[in-house]
């Protein structure tokens, strides 16, 4: 409400110094909460810094466009005789077969090829990424970008960043880390092992609006060297110039839209209102609720877990065919008391219990399981 009422259009520092400067500080606060490497933080005095995008899809596209601009410049220096059209036709990016659909969409919008790398137990390994890169190099293509997902949409699986990151560094491929949902958990020290290898990334993104009690839209993105993105997007007409250019970031160069809202304000309110310890407690509570729901599921011999329980997500299914599980989901959602969303990995259809609300209690897990169980009972009675 306050952000809307202040109504600043913060595309330049001069349009609203508070809008820009609070964002710089909030992204440093948030980066320190996650213990991101200093190279990502503006307060380190280096090139790095953070920006609030609207969504993780935007961040993936912005990183891809920055990586594309960087690679085109490098290749032009090596092959001055090649025109830009020739170079763009050779560019290829990579992601896990479990990556979010927005990664594929970023490739379409960026006009480049994206290769899907076969995952192992739902997680991308460094060896598989390296094999794909070497195959493309042998065919005369130019690898330039790879998305490593920490917390996939289907099953909240974590790609091996500590393997994939060094592979990207070795082949001069931009590594973008998409931790849209699970990144919020990295404020808890016990979950930071899942981001091992973060020092090898070029950009990192997660959504405080998904699991850190900040309302939509607030997608936090950090870049080790924002100049590639800034230069890719830099259109500087006279009417947007000001005397303080260069002394503070003009965030219009860090994003696809020109105008932007005062999003740092809501991040400031949440961090000041809750504090780090209360936000950590919120994350831990949800993770415990997921384990509780998982225990209820395993205790019923009709059901099985479809994936390891990670964070606040439980992937489960009725033992048997996909059709049985589709019918079960339709019945659960049709009852109108809880709502579940399905997923499918390697042609195995399963249901996903995602714990999202700050008002969730342990009783809600028991209630939800009774709904699932009752729907399964109804199906059995009708057979």
The predicted-structure confidence for 144-197, as pLDDT tens digits, reads as follows 999 999 999 889 999 999 999 999 999 999 999 999 999 999 999 999 999 999
User: Got the DSSP string for 89-147?
Assistant: HHEEEEEETTS-HHHHHHHHHHT-EEEEEPPBTTB--HHHHHHHHHHHHHTT-EEEEEE
What is the distance between the alpha carbons of residues 350 and 154, in angstroms, rounded to a whole number?
9
Residue 2 reports pLDDT greater than 50: yes
Summarize the confidence of residues 72-83 as an average pLDDT. Answer: 86
Q: Taking CA 277 as the corner, what is the angle to CA 275 and CA 279, rounded to the nearest 5 degrees?
A: 70
Residue 329's pLDDT is what? 94
Summarize the confidence of residues 351-367 as an average pLDDT. Answer: 91
> Cβ distance 144 to 91 under 8 Å?
yes
Q: Indicate which residues carry an active-site annotation.
A: 100
What is the distance between the alpha carbons of residues 347 and 360, in angstroms, rounded to a whole number?
32
Residue 301 reports pLDDT greater than 80: yes
Residue 243's pLDDT is what? 57
Least confident range from 24-28, 56-60, 64-68, 253-257: namely: 253-257
3-state secondary structure 134-159: HHHHHCCCEEEEEEEEECCCCCCCEC
Residue 84's pLDDT is what? 83
Summarize the confidence of residues 311-336 as an average pLDDT. Answer: 92
292 burial level (CB within 10 Å; 0-12, 13-18, 19+)? middle
Domains of the chain: 1-261 (3.40.640.10), 277-382 (3.90.1150.10)
- How do strand 91-96 and strand 49-53 relate by DSSP bridges? unpaired
The percent of residues above 90 in pLDDT, for the chain, comes to 50
C-beta neighbour count of 250 within 10 angstroms: 22
Per-residue confidence at 12, pLDDT binned at 50, 70, 90?
confident
Residue 245's pLDDT is what? 61
What is the distance between the alpha carbons of residues 33 and 289, in angstroms, rounded to a whole number?
23
Residue 234 reports pLDDT greater than 90: no
Q: Kindly report, residue by residue over 192-228, the tens digit of the pLDDT.
A: 999 999 999 999 999 998 898 898 888 999 999 888 7
What is the distance between the alpha carbons of residues 89 and 210, in angstroms, rounded to a whole number?
36
User: Got the DSSP string for 293-327?
Assistant: HHHHHHHSTTEEESS--BTTEEEEEESS-HHHHHH
Interhelix angle 17-34/264-299, rounded to 10 degrees, is 30
pTM metric for this prediction: 0.88
238 burial level (CB within 10 Å; 0-12, 13-18, 19+)? exposed
């Amino acid at each position: 409400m306050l952000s809307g009422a202040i109504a600043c259009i913060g595309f330049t520092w001069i349009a609203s110094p508070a809008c820009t400067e609070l964002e710089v500080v909030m992204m440093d606060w948030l980066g320190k909460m996650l213990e991101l490497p200093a190279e990502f933080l503006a307060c380190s005095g280096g090139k790095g810094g953070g920006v609030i995008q609207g969504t993780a899809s935007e961040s993936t596209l912005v990183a891809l466009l920055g990586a594309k601009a960087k690679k085109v410049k490098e290749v032009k220096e090596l092959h001055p005789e090649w025109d830009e059209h020739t170079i763009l036709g050779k560019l290829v990016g990579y992601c896990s077969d479990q990556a979010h659909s927005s990664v594929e969409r970023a490739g379409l919008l960026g006009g480049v090829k994206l290769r899907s790398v076969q995952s192992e137990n739902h997680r991308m390994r460094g060896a598989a990424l390296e094999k794909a890169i070497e195959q493309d190099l042998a065919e005369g293509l130019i690898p330039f970008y790879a998305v490593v997902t920490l917390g996939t949409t289907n099953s909240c699986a974590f790609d091996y960043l500590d393997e994939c990151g060094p592979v990207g560094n070795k082949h001069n491929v931009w590594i973008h880390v998409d931790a849209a949902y699970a990144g919020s958990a990295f404020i808890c020290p016990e979950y930071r092992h899942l981001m091992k290898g973060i020092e090898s990334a070029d950009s990192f993104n997660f959504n405080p609006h998904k699991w850190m009690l900040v309302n939509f839209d607030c997608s936090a993105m950090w870049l080790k060297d924002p100049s590639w993105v800034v230069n890719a997007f830099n259109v500087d007409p006279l009417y947007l110039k000001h005397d303080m250019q260069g002394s503070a970031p003009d965030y219009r160069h860090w994003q696809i839209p020109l105008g932007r809202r005062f999003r740092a304000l809501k991040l400031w309110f949440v961090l000041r209102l809750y504090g780090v310890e209360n936000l950590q407690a919120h994350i831990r509570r949800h993770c415990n609720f997921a384990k509780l729901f998982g225990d209820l599921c395993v205790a019923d011999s009709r059901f099985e877990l479809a994936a390891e329980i990670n964070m606040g997500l439980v992937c489960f299914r009725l033992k048997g065919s996909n059709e049985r599980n589709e019918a079960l989901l339709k019945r659960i959602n049709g009852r109108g008391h809880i709502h579940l969303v399905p997923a499918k990995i390697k042609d195995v259809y399963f249901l996903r219990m995602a714990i999202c609300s700050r008002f969730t209690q342990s009783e809600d897990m028991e209630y939800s399981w009774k709904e699932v169980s009752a729907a399964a009972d109804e199906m059995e009675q009708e057979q």
